[in-house]
Amino acid sequence: MSERFALLNDDRLNAIRPIITARLQEAAGLVGGGAFEEFFDGTMQALLRDGLNRIGAHEGTVWLLDPTRTFLMPRFNTGPNSSELVGRFRQSLRSGMISMVVATEQPICENEVQKNQQQDKTLDRQLGLLTCTMIAVPFYFTGEMRGVVSAVRLKAAGAADEPAGFGLEDLEALQLATTVLTRMIEYRLLSLVLGREGLG
């Protein structure tokens, strides 16, 4: 019979726990406020790319709330147009399907995006593409909603062939990848706050 994993609380940590929590929130604010590209390292990027590849997404994006919580901004994108998106485009929280994910804190899986009245077509028009099918899931770290992770299948504007839709298993796979990504981010933040980054 295997032993249960049980780690008892160390009362000596109670005095500094509020300090650690405050420092974690401060560090998370810096990451969300514009330092994400520097913080989001190669291992995190590889994890997300692998998750997107597994579900057959054409590309994926990490959207973070701006400090005023008025816009979602793409901070990481795996597609060929990432330079036109990351740090440049702003999606108002008053429109668009990914904004609905922020409002409801619920994931969506939409297989006829271009027919959905809630889609904001600004980005598609800018890039000359049509978003055909999309998954978007809430993105949390340090106990707070920080944005959205989305996966899409696209086609060129005017193209006839429609890509296949996503299924429930694809949504679950992206949720799992996002959960693991959250844990990696929180681990790195805690390591930085405790001065243990790079100590192994």
The continuous run of DSSP H or E covering 143 comes out as: none
Tell me what pLDDT residue 41 has. 93
Find where tokens 């590889």 sit. Answer: 46
Mean pLDDT across the stretch 78-99? 89
| CATH number belonging to domain 11-193 | 3.30.450.40
pLDDT averaged over the chain? 89
Cα separation, 26 vs 110, whole angstroms:
35
pLDDT confidence tier of residue 146, bands split at 50, 70 and 90: very high
Percent of the chain with pLDDT over 90: 52
Cα separation, 142 vs 29, whole angstroms:
10
Of the listed ranges 3-7, 56-60, 102-106, 125-129, the least confidently predicted one is 3-7
Mean pLDDT across the stretch 56-76? 93
Tell me what pLDDT residue 120 has. 80
Tell me what pLDDT residue 44 has. 95
Tell me what pLDDT residue 176 has. 97
Tell me what pLDDT residue 200 has. 45
Q: Which two tokens stand for residue 45?
A: 């990027």
Name the residue among 190, 98, 186, 173 with its Cα closest to residue 136: 98
- Could you tell me the maximum CA-CA distance found in the chain, to the nearest angstrom? 65
Judging by beta carbons within 10 Å of its beta carbon (0-12, 13-18, 19+), is residue 170 exposed, middle or buried? buried
Tell me what pLDDT residue 128 has. 84
Would you list the domain boundaries of the chain? 11-193
Mean pLDDT across the stretch 165-173? 95
pTM for the whole structure: 0.89
Cα separation, 20 vs 76, whole angstroms:
28
Check pLDDT > 80 for residue 157: no
Helix, strand or coil, per DSSP, at residue 160: coil
pLDDT confidence tier of residue 31, bands split at 50, 70 and 90: confident
Name the residue among 147, 150, 140 with its Cα closest to residue 170: 150
pLDDT confidence tier of residue 73, bands split at 50, 70 and 90: very high
The DSSP code sequence of 40-84 is S-HHHHHHHHHHHHHTT-SEEEEEEE-TTSSEEEEEEE-STTHHH
Of the listed ranges 24-28, 171-175, 178-182, the least confidently predicted one is 24-28
